Structure 1
């Protein structure tokens, strides 16, 4: 089984979405199950409703899961297993207060040494601290594992001292809950961000301490950088999947882009179903990848172009195919749904009459509409009629006419879009 394990502590990050996509693809390629595990161990940071939002986004992207679990449902079992580790001599109660540990850390820094927990401190503060934590005994040998992207990863035993697995309030720590749940749900392959690499030896040590023998494969994805070449953070709008969707980027375009990052796909434009046939995690670059919003815009435009007229119309929340057809033409200069909506909104916006020529063209158009003139049937006929009635031509005619019909001073050829505009002339020619 493969799993995606988001925390309901904030917006879904594109790096996490990338991991979810890869877990889903490999689960499908190997005919395995895909598990969503909501990691809600941090009660102080969990945001009410954020889990439902994350699940809704995964559903929107077509990342349909076979099983959904919440980590908090297993807290009782986590504590039972922790107590079993104590009985086996693999874990112990530690009564050290935060203040005591802070003092020891300050001493280490003062002496120029790396801070490491000393097991002999376990009973310190026992008389004053009624709520001990449970620590797993540190590693007694080096721990290594093979990463499908990074290659061999090795951690010295000196890097893994005794660490907390159950907090003073009985809540399991991230590493302990994660490791135990991977065992409970028989996870065979863990794909996650590179920032979790240092957690892996601790999770391996937990399983080793329990005598768990099943081998688990790992792949840690390189970090995503922002436009400045720094690690993308929550402060970067582009890092939020919700923000990208709100800007009018299509889910299939975001998937296309994220699978292309640090990779060489067989084709530039593809969907999730296509990727199932060729994706190979071993071909991903080991280096960090920079998020390029302009490249995403290009890919998004190509996916919008590929939409049929009905789907385009529905995405623009219209029932009139003419609106979808207009949007298709405006893709010459727009690359997101929001930009298309803005272009179309301008067409139906109130028009400010700013010159005598514009007033003359406007009045003439209103007269032709009132008369239900045959000249309104196509653009060439309308153009000829306006030249005849207003005595205007060239820029004096076409610049004001473009603004009156589209609300903009430039854009697609009027001859191309008038075939759709003619159905809405009364709504378009509003000056009030």
Structure 2
């Protein structure tokens, strides 16, 4: 059975980059009738907060990305201790005591000598007496996994055949000096124990994958199928964080972006398939193909979410927004007509309020200087509301007869004067919604 996972750290809100990872893993699981696990990587007790864990689940639920199991790494510390003991027994785990300054000096020396800046394994040469002395002087050391210096290979679901020389990578630290388990060990234990079959994550994890493959093999686990998606950039190729901040999903939700607009974009962005609005999760699942994604950095522009959200609202039936329309104060007998008039002229649902203000209170007329007398004469010919769907035709006919104007010279100035806009819904539908007569 296909088993995937999304493993955020509850140290902040989910952002657009996290969503890409979550969505790909979710779609793979659902397309193959498998399981999707939400795993909270909360081994950092100082930075992990319950409010962020709750927010992560809220954001996923808003998008409809439902999980089959919830796991928390903080509940599995005993398992990680057990794995650490296993690695010690097989000679693959060793303690090191260098300070950050000492490590930095070593790296600089290696670079000056033209060598890769990898850890020199000095910790392996320490005797028990030397370790005891260092502990007494500096406290506990960090624990590193001893890599086998061989090529680590795998076939990546996006990047293709991968090969990394383990000798070019430092032995990874798996336990900090304060005893905190780091991501690499905890993630491997979880992936092994939960039977994870597929892992999709960002290309910044490629080196992690190489070392994790060796740790998985050392612990007797089955290596999942790995795939590394490209990282997102801004629309001009700039680093996303510099231009847009973290771009948290809750910020997009607050801005009125529709879930299906966001999912439709992220399910295709960076692939060879065109971005098209999907109307259901089933459509997204059916159309998802990991093999269509490329390795090049992927440009993301939040402005692309607006026309997709507009499409969602254009097709939205009244029943879905009835309560929101009534909450604006639209009379119940006009509510459905109001929605049918404005839905094709809004981007997000919050835009409805501006239209209702226009209908309720009247617009600030948009009148060109050469049209002022014409509009004053036209408004004198318009009776008081209530209006009907015949009012616009009757009024424009009367204005045409009185002024001789016709065509665009007749209709455009009247539209601008009544609505304060150059574009908008059919005026025959607008007039019945006007609660007050337009005036200069």
Over 3 Å counting, the alpha-carbon distance change for 1:234 and 1:272 in structure 2 is farther
Any idea what SS the aligned residue of 1:190 has?
strand
Instruction: State whether residues 145 and 152 of structure 1, in contact with CA within 8 Å, keep that contact through their aligned partners in structure 2.
Output: yes
Of residues 235, 249, 254, the one that matches 1:241 is 249
1:411 to 402, 423, 426: 423
* Mapped pair 1:166 → 2:175: yes
User: In the alignment, is the contact (CA less than 8 A) between 1:22 and 1:191 conserved in 2?
Assistant: yes
Q: Aligned partners of 2:388 and 2:241: how far apart in 1?
A: 57
* 1:4 Cα deviation from its structure 2 partner: 0.8
Displacement of 1:133 in angstroms is: 1.8
Q: Given the alignment, which residue of 379, 394, 404 partners 1:381?
A: 394
SS in 2 for 1:127: helix
Q: Is 1:328 matched with 2:343? A: yes
Report whether the alignment pairs 1:208 with 2:224: no
Partners of 1:368 and 1:376 within 8 A in 2: no
* 1:287 corresponds to 2:302: no
State the shift of 1:322 in Å. 2.7
Matched position secondary structure for 1:113: coil
CA contact (8 A) 1:94 1:133 kept: yes
Aligned partners of 1:92 and 1:430: how far apart in 2? 83
Question: Counterpart of 2:260?
Answer: 252
Contact 1:327–1:344 (Cα < 8 Å) also in 2: no
Partner of 2:186: 177
Matched, 1:421 2:404: no
| C-alpha distance 350-383 of structure 1, shift in aligned 2 (>3 A) | closer
Aligned to 1:195: 204
Match of 2:349 among 331, 337, 355: 337
Offset at 1:252?
0.6
**Distance change >3 Å, CA 17–CA 429, structure 1 → 2:** same
Which of 17, 37, 40 is equivalent to 2:39? Answer: 37
Question: What secondary structure does 1:144 align onto?
Answer: strand
Distance of 1:400 and 1:152 partners within structure 2? 65
Alignment CA distance shift 1:164-1:273 (3 Å)? same
SS of the equivalent of 2:138 reads coil
- Return 5+ residue gaps in structure 2 as ranges: none
2:195 pairs with 1:186: yes
Counterpart Cα distance in 2 of 1:103 and 1:127: 23
Q: Shift of the alpha carbon at 1:121?
A: 3.4
Scaled by the length of structure 2, the TM-score of the pair is 0.82
Q: How many Å separate the matches in 1 of 2:354 and 2:363?
A: 15
State the partner residue of 1:230.
238
Deviations 1:311-339 (A, max 9, x none): 25556665722332122241xxx433344
**Alignment of structure 1 residues 250-399 onto 2, 5 Å:** 250-265=258-273, 268-270=276-278, 271-313=280-322, 320-330=335-345, 334-348=346-360, 351=363, 368-369=384-385, 378-383=391-396
Q: Measure, in 1, the Cα distance between the counterparts of 2:439 and 2:176.
A: 66
SS for the counterpart of 1:202 is helix
What is the aligned-residue RMSD (CA, Å)? 3.4
Q: Structure 1 residues 346 and 18 mapped into 2: Cα distance closer, same or farther (>3 Å)?
A: farther
Q: How far apart in 2 are the matches of 1:158 and 1:53? A: 41
How far does residue 159 in structure 1 lie from its aligned partner after superposition?
A: 2.1
Matching residue of 1:50: 52
| 2:79 paired with 1:77 | yes
In structure 2, how many angstroms separate the alpha carbons of the residues matched to 1:297 and 1:7?
29
Change (3 A) 1:174 1:215: closer
Equivalent-residue separation in structure 1 for 2:439 and 2:212 (angstroms): 66
Q: 2:4: which partner in 1?
A: 2
Task: Tell me, in whole angstroms, the C-alpha distance in 2 between the residues paired with 1:139 and 1:93.
Answer: 17
1:167, distance to aligned residue in structure 2 (A): 0.9
Q: 1:253 to 1:315 in 2, by over 3 A?
A: farther
Shift of 1:193: 1.4
Aligned length: 418
- Does 1:127 pair with 2:136? yes
SS of structure 1 residue aligned to 2:200: strand
SS of the residue corresponding to residue 136 of structure 2 reads coil
1:430 to 1:305, Cα distance in 2 relative to 1, 3 A: same
TM-score (norm 1): 0.83
**Residue 402 (structure 1) shift:** 4.0
SS of the aligned residue for 1:100 comes to: helix
The whole-number CA distance in structure 2 between the counterparts of 1:5 and 1:430 is 59
Residues in 1 aligned to 2:431 and 2:366: alpha-carbon distance in whole angstroms: 26
Any gaps of 5 or more consecutive residues in structure 1?
none
Contact 2:36 2:67 survives alignment (8 Å) = yes
Change (3 A) 1:416 1:272: farther
